[in-house]
Amino acid sequence: MKKILFPTIALFSFIASAQTFVSTSIENKNVILEEYTGISCVYCPDGHKIAQDLHNANPNDVFLINVHTGGYANPQGPDTDFNTSFGSALAGQTGLTGYPSGTVNRHTFSGSTTTAQSRSAWVASANTIMNVVSPVNVGIQSSIDMATNTMTVDVEVYYTGTQTITSNQLNIAIVQNGILGPQTGGASYNPTAIDPATGLYTHNHMLRHMLTGQWGETISNISQGTLYTNSYTWTIPNQLSGFSLSPVIDATNLAIVAFVSEGNQEILSGTELYPDLIFANAYDANLVASSATDIMCTPTTDLTVDFKNYGNTNLTSVNIEYSINGGTTTIYPWNGNLTPGASETVVISNISVSPNVSNTVDITLVSPNGNTDQNLSNNNTQCTFNGMYDAPSGDITIEVTTDNYPSETTWKLKENGTVIASGGPYTTAGSAQTPAIIAAGVTPGSCYIFIMEDSYGDGMLSPGSYKVKDANGSTIVWGGTNSPNGNFTSEESTYFESNSGVTPSWDCDGQGNCQDPGNGSGQYTDLSNCQTSCNNVSVNDADLNNISIFPNPVKNILNISGTFELVEIYDVFGKLVLTSNKNTINTSNLSNGIYVLNINTNNSIITKRITVSK
């Protein structure tokens, strides 16, 4: 259980930490179970449950590290990239052939040539390890300064026995609990992990960082009776560097797993600790995350704001300030009673907006308990939501390319809540189906929803995808494998409405197609000119599928996910106004308006458009 420390208590803990806290008695080995998993793996939740039950039965002897890696761990949109820079190499040494797999102390058990095991073997293997005497004990002390988001870790390693090798490796893993996200098979194989408020899956023990690097730090003197000590600090980032779709790192839900290994393989023993939380400031409201619902036939959105009390006094009031697309700031007063470290979710419903196709919300927390916030670095965040696509009256065309499981794929189109067309299940695998054309599918004054479904719950796997196009051939929505918005699981819905007088215009989507942004801001006013221009641009598909930009419209910070060499930003007059080779670009010096991005990769130039709105 976490302890909450205030400054005077923290001083006492610091003095106590100078004493030896690791056990010097001979003990049996503890288990480090590294589980290799992914959000699109249908049986992985069963692995999560088996591992959690094993830990619950042996809370002081079995410790879990869930490593998301491989194809099943591909993200499905913002906050769903659970990969790390360490996962691939960790999995690579196990010899795993499927998911979920796990290693128990990275030991190769009798009858196997690899350390990877199926989930049915974990319990027996763990019991075997726990009955073996360990030559080493591991102890940890740790705290997190919540004002600076700085973690301090003190480690002690004591050798109670002898070994035939001359050195060991100390590894310190940081794992996070309580991360909500998608998970195929969650409801079937681990239903207790489904969050009742959101319907999302609760991911625990998720690897976030290795303080000691990929394979640990060397301990040179491992003779019996030797005490090894070391200290580490880590400034906890908001999210993992290089993983723009990764979730927020919540300092209040972190745990530390430290273990000693023989080189990169055999783990001798280890332990786990939840850091003490030190709240240095009296008034510190921490804005954790925010989200806003897409427009669905009425021009309103619901804004959800998650925040925590990082002050050392109870938080009883705070003002939530928000503005949409750089407009007027609105103040929403919150009142309650949060103890230090406690969290709150506020939903501000039915906010009236005049939406663009893409919209940005800026949120700030101010005046905790009527006082000046003593830590302004964690008071701001930004989220986006979609306005409805404004389609012209006329036909709707639905293009489907099936994956290797066509019988799982179905769709339907609703007009004002009534199904007017449907398709699937299909019989031909991995091929483009005959387009479905719904004659005069869009009529003035109506609201539409297109729903794509997968009965198995893992979306459309490669090469599966779908597109919905309006009467002008512009894409309303593109989904499935490698789509700009990521894959879906069981269902994906998109709303759009009939044309309300906006002059049609088109942009190239970078792969030879033209899209109408729905607000008259397109580069081309003639569809044929757009198609001619788009067809003359050669873009490598692999590059295109790897690149996405958000938020759009953008206020101050533009994020670009994927691998590229250079980004060039041009204004509407063709003047080069900004260049960068970073995945995060500061656009605060750009004036409001539309800009063209040329994203240079190794093989091609990808063109995208953004709107700067402050």
Which residues, in sequence order, are bridge partners of residue 140? 155
Q: What is d(CA 589, CA 600) in angstroms, rounded to the nearest whole number?
A: 22
Report the pLDDT averaged over residues 308-329: 95
Domain co-membership, 368 together with 396:
no
Domain co-membership, 21 together with 140:
yes
Nearest to 466 by CA among 406, 390, 522, 384: 406
Question: In this structure, what CATH number is given to the domain that contains residue 583?
Answer: 2.60.40.3080
Is pLDDT above 70 for 10? no
The length of the chain, given as a count of residues: 614
Q: Is residue 409 part of a domain?
A: yes
Q: Is residue 507 part of a domain?
A: no
Q: Is residue 216 part of a domain?
A: yes
Q: Range with the lowest mean pLDDT among 237-251, 330-344, 386-400, 547-561?
A: 547-561
DSSP-derived pairing of the beta strands 566-570 and 576-580: antiparallel
Is pLDDT above 50 for 16? no
Q: Tokens 């009965």 sit at which residue?
A: 455
Q: Is residue 72 part of a domain?
A: yes
pTM surpassing 0.75? no
Q: Range with the lowest mean pLDDT among 75-79, 138-142, 217-221, 497-501?
A: 497-501
Q: Is residue 157 part of a domain?
A: yes
* Final residue of a structural domain among 480, 501, 522: 501
pLDDT, position 480? 83
Is pLDDT above 80 for 346? yes
> Structure tokens of 255?
């745990």
What strands, in cross-sheet order, belong to the sheet with 343-352? Answer: 285-292, 300-309, 343-352
pLDDT, position 170? 98
Question: In this structure, what CATH number is given to the domain that contains residue 137?
Answer: 2.60.40.10
- Tell me the pLDDT tens digit for each residue of 447-468: 899 999 999 888 888 889 999 9
Domain co-membership, 600 together with 480:
no
Residue-by-residue DSSP string for 29-40: PPEEEEEEE-TT
135, 162 contact by CB (below 8 A): yes
Q: What is d(CA 100, CA 104) in angstroms, rounded to the nearest whole number?
A: 13
* Final residue of a structural domain among 227, 246, 278: 278
Domain co-membership, 223 together with 189:
yes
pLDDT, position 31? 98
Report the pLDDT averaged over residues 74-83: 89
What proportion of the chain, given as a percentage, has pLDDT over 90? Answer: 61
pLDDT, position 491? 87
Q: Dihedral, CA atoms, 69, 73, 79, 84, nearest 10 degrees?
A: 10
Q: Please provide residue 208's backbone torsions phi and psi, each rounded to the nearest 5 degrees.
A: -120, -35
Distances (CA, A) of 499 to 421, 432, 516: 20, 29, 12
Q: What is the band of 614 on the pLDDT scale with cuts at 50, 70, 90?
A: low
First to last CA, the chain: 44
556-567 b/e (C-beta count within 10 Å ≥ 16 → b): bebbbbbebeeb
Is pLDDT above 60 for 540? no
The DSSP 8-state label assigned to residue 43 in this structure reads T
Report the pLDDT averaged over residues 217-239: 96
Q: What is d(CA 139, CA 130) in angstroms, rounded to the nearest whole number?
A: 17
Q: What is d(CA 293, CA 350) in angstroms, rounded to the nearest whole number?
A: 10
Distances (CA, A) of 291 to 338, 538, 561: 21, 36, 19
Mean of per-residue pLDDT scores for the chain: 87
Domain co-membership, 93 together with 182:
yes
Longest alpha-carbon distance in the chain? 83
Q: Range with the lowest mean pLDDT among 16-20, 448-452, 588-592?
A: 16-20
Report the pLDDT averaged over residues 356-380: 92
With H, G, I as helix, E, B as strand and everything else as coil, classify residue 4: strand
Return the amino acid letter for 190.
Answer: N
Q: What is d(CA 468, CA 397) in angstroms, rounded to the nearest whole number?
A: 6
Is pLDDT above 50 for 579? yes
Is pLDDT above 90 for 309? yes
Q: What is the band of 543 on the pLDDT scale with cuts at 50, 70, 90?
A: very low
Report the pLDDT averaged over residues 566-592: 79
Q: What is d(CA 236, CA 45) in angstroms, rounded to the nearest whole number?
A: 28
pLDDT, position 575? 67
> Structure tokens of 223?
């003779």
Nearest to 422 by CA among 376, 453, 461: 453
Domain co-membership, 154 together with 74:
yes
- Total number of domains in the chain: 4
Q: What is the band of 15 on the pLDDT scale with cuts at 50, 70, 90?
A: very low
Domain co-membership, 379 together with 448:
no
Q: Please provide residue 407's backbone torsions phi and psi, each rounded to the nearest 5 degrees.
A: -70, -15
Q: What is the band of 526 on the pLDDT scale with cuts at 50, 70, 90?
A: low
Alpha helix positions (H), 325-365: none
For residue 50, what is the enclosing H or E element? helix 44-57
Q: What is the band of 18 on the pLDDT scale with cuts at 50, 70, 90?
A: very low
> Structure tokens of 127?
């019991």
Is pLDDT above 50 for 6? no
Q: Is residue 201 part of a domain?
A: yes
Mutual orientation of helices 122-130 and 44-57 as an angle, nearest 10°?
30
Domain co-membership, 257 together with 326:
no
Return the amino acid letter for 534.
Answer: C
pLDDT, position 594? 73
Is pLDDT above 90 for 611? no
260, 157 contact by CB (below 8 A): yes
Is pLDDT above 90 for 229? yes
Residue 588 lies in domain: 538-614
Report the pLDDT averaged over residues 282-293: 93
Residue 49 Cα to chain centre, angstroms: 22
Domain co-membership, 297 together with 153:
no
pLDDT, position 568? 84
Residue-by-residue DSSP string for 188-243: HH-GGGB-TTT--EEE-SEEEEETT-SS-EEE----TT-EEEEEEEEE--SS-TT-
Q: Range with the lowest mean pLDDT among 8-12, 284-288, 568-572?
A: 8-12
> Structure tokens of 456?
């198995």
* Cβ neighbours for 174, distance < 8 A, ≥ 6 positions apart: 151, 207, 208, 209, 210, 211, 234, 254, 255, 256
Question: For residues 227 and 394, which has the higher predicted lDDT (pLDDT)?
Answer: 227
Q: Is residue 514 part of a domain?
A: no
Is pLDDT above 50 for 280? yes
For residue 496, what is the enclosing H or E element? strand 491-498
The DSSP 8-state label assigned to residue 432 in this structure reads B
- Tell me the pLDDT tens digit for each residue of 461-494: 888 999 999 888 888 888 887 676 667 778 888 8
Question: In this structure, what CATH number is given to the domain that contains residue 454?
Answer: 2.60.60
Domain co-membership, 556 together with 422:
no
* Final residue of a structural domain among 252, 278, 304: 278
Q: Is residue 242 part of a domain?
A: yes
Nearest to 239 by CA among 230, 228, 229, 248: 248
Computed from CA positions of residues 520, 521, 526, 530, in that sequence, does the dihedral angle turn out positive or negative? negative
Q: What is the band of 593 on the pLDDT scale with cuts at 50, 70, 90?
A: confident
Domain co-membership, 228 together with 298:
no
pLDDT, position 218? 98
- Tell me the pLDDT tens digit for each residue of 26-65: 999 999 999 999 999 999 999 999 999 999 999 999 999 9
> Structure tokens of 135?
């030559």
Q: Range with the lowest mean pLDDT among 281-285, 552-556, 569-573?
A: 569-573
Report the pLDDT averaged over residues 490-502: 75
Q: What is d(CA 477, CA 494) in angstroms, rounded to the nearest whole number?
A: 7
Nearest to 504 by CA among 484, 523, 491: 523
- Tell me the pLDDT tens digit for each residue of 96-145: 999 999 999 999 999 999 999 999 999 999 999 999 999 999 999 999 99
267, 261 contact by CB (below 8 A): yes
Report the pLDDT averaged over residues 142-157: 95
Domain co-membership, 561 together with 457:
no
Is pLDDT above 50 for 539? no
